[in-house]
Chain A
């Protein structure tokens, strides 16, 4: 898929996404700043911003193998934690001053246990997430945020006031609004940006200071508004799934002529489709956002119908012709979800392609065959 867009900012986003410790992280460190690693969409990264600490969402970008970490994982563990922990054992994350791990799934949760036993890090915190999405769970999450704030204040000698927290929420909400504005541009018949480019933009936002990110997003929006739209696509696609952070994977999906126009993935709309309330108690606002207002992933219980509706709404809003559901092998959260999505999409008359994958791109030939056949199917060939 070719775009005519010339954007220095977009190139910068790609560079940031292509490496784990990007120059902005190094610069932050060199200026005496602290960096805390974390995983998933459900960590309140606003808290780190409020503490003046850079939140860096960890990925396995650049990993070439899992020979060190495999000693601590079984062959039925997801390749994402195996690659990330391998990098950790290889001292590629030594730059971190701390790490916060959520119990998103058992595979990710074990990064915490392994890190605790195998590596030294100044600050290692387990962020305990509830599963249900009702009032007691909002309170639970709120308590976890209070705990995290206390521990960060003690460890790093900072004061995280409510005012600082509110300012961080405003800053992060601006991220969300700007990203949503870019998605608005993808609703038209000829969007100016590909799915591969978009994922680079979103991943970069989890790896640089959020104020700098906002400035870059504003520049990108200007570039996109002046850009010529993409015309040569033969179908509009939505990607649905989990930890997908690799622009090359998206590129392969799009190389066959389908243009990805929207998504529900961990480095996608689930991060920014709704905002944290800027009114009232910021702890309460963050907790309610995370538990009840943000589009959730299948780790949550009780709100599957809401997730299913989110998918159908997206399809309508973005005029999606077909949905590609990707899943990391051994991901037990997504596997059954995709079967439910399959049923819903059949009813809605929207073709659905399920793809299993490894975290680091492999099996490109089979992937291309599947995607090409899917597009031929959409085109009625």
Chain B
């Protein structure tokens, strides 16, 4: 059986094609202002990668993410919360807590042995602790997202950044820069402040190991390191790209749907 999962997020569009339980293609492209086109482009690229000539070769497609209603070729849409849980669980079956950090929000899911969501929390009306936040910080620090992520850049004495709002947090960082603070300490401070917020979200659903990070920001090594310090447990490394976890989850649900 060949199925597809398409995750249209605020910042990137992801498509995954799975055949008999294995990923045979996966793509990540920047989101456009037309979610239906982002979906089409991501899926076309995945089809090419999988050597498939047409979307009709897929038995079932599930859409997810903010643009899930605009994935016109999907037969059904499922929330990204359920999909990330499923995807992370498939990638690593021992995972019980999933921290999904996307472009414009973050979510923490507590999941069952079967990868089903038991409880979840989602950040509210604030971009702090999301991809958008890190992009803003990278701009102010002229260091690029890699600069924020790099483990070498995590200063030993993280600066204190307390603002709950990403705009005000940016002002705090500008103040630190102007006070002559060490850039590495500021970077560590940024990852530290986001980890603190994620920690309290994790505590709300209850910390159960293993913990995994998904979403684009899961690739921020500095953040993962800071989060481990806050949670006092290590974060499980997923054997696949954590950014496609939502699309993988959607494809796995597509298998179930196709089977009826």
Contact = CB atoms under 8 A, between A and B. Distances in A.
Interface of A: 351, 356, 363, 365-366, 369-370, 372-373, 376-377, 380-381
Nearest to A346: B119
B46 interface: no
A377 B105 contact: no
Interface string B107-133: 000000000111110101100000000
A377 B122 contact: no
Interface stretch (B79-87, B144-152, B233-241): B79-87
A381 B253 contact: yes
6 contacts: A356-B125, A365-B66, A373-B80, A373-B82, A381-B82, A381-B253
B117 A373 contact: yes
A356 to B, nearest CB: 5
B58 interface: no
Contacts of A380: 116
B116 A377 contact: yes
B79 A369 contact: yes
Interface string B216-230: 000000000000000
A380 B85 CA distance: 12
Given A356-B125, A373-B80, A377-B118, 20 more contacts: A356-B124, A366-B122, A369-B66, A369-B122, A370-B122, A372-B79, A373-B81, A373-B82, A373-B117, A373-B120, A376-B78, A376-B79, A376-B82, A377-B82, A377-B119, A377-B120, A380-B116, A381-B82, A381-B116, A381-B253
A369 B105 CA distance: 11
B116 A373 contact: no
From A351, A363, A365, A369, name the one whose CB has the most chain B CB atoms within 10 angstroms: A369
Contacts of B117: 373, 376-377
A88 to B, nearest CB: 26
Contacts of B82: 373, 376-377, 381
A369 B82 CA distance: 10
A84 B43 CA distance: 48
Interface residues of B, number: 16
A72 B171 CA distance: 27
Interface in B90-118: 105, 116-118
Nearest to B118: A377
A228 to B, nearest CB: 27
A369 B80 contact: yes
Contacts of A377: 82, 116-120
B50 to A, nearest CB: 26
A381 B253 CA distance: 8
Contacts of B122: 366, 369-370
A372 B78 CA distance: 8
Contacts of B118: 377
Q: For the complex of A and B, list the 5 residue pairs with the smallest distance between their C-beta atoms, beginning with the closest.
A: A373-B81, A373-B79, A372-B79, A376-B82, A377-B117
Nearest to B125: A363
Contacts of A363: 125
B196 to A, nearest CB: 20
Interface in B134-184: none
A366 B66 CA distance: 8
Contacts of B79: 369, 372-373, 376
B23 to A, nearest CB: 21
Contacts of A356: 124-125
A365 B81 CA distance: 13
Nearest to A353: B120
B60 to A, nearest CB: 15
B114 to A, nearest CB: 9
Nearest to A376: B82
Contacts of B119: 351, 377
Contacts of B116: 377, 380-381
Contacts of A373: 79-82, 117, 120
Contacts of A370: 81, 122
Nearest to A381: B82
A370 to B, nearest CB: 6
Contacts of A351: 119
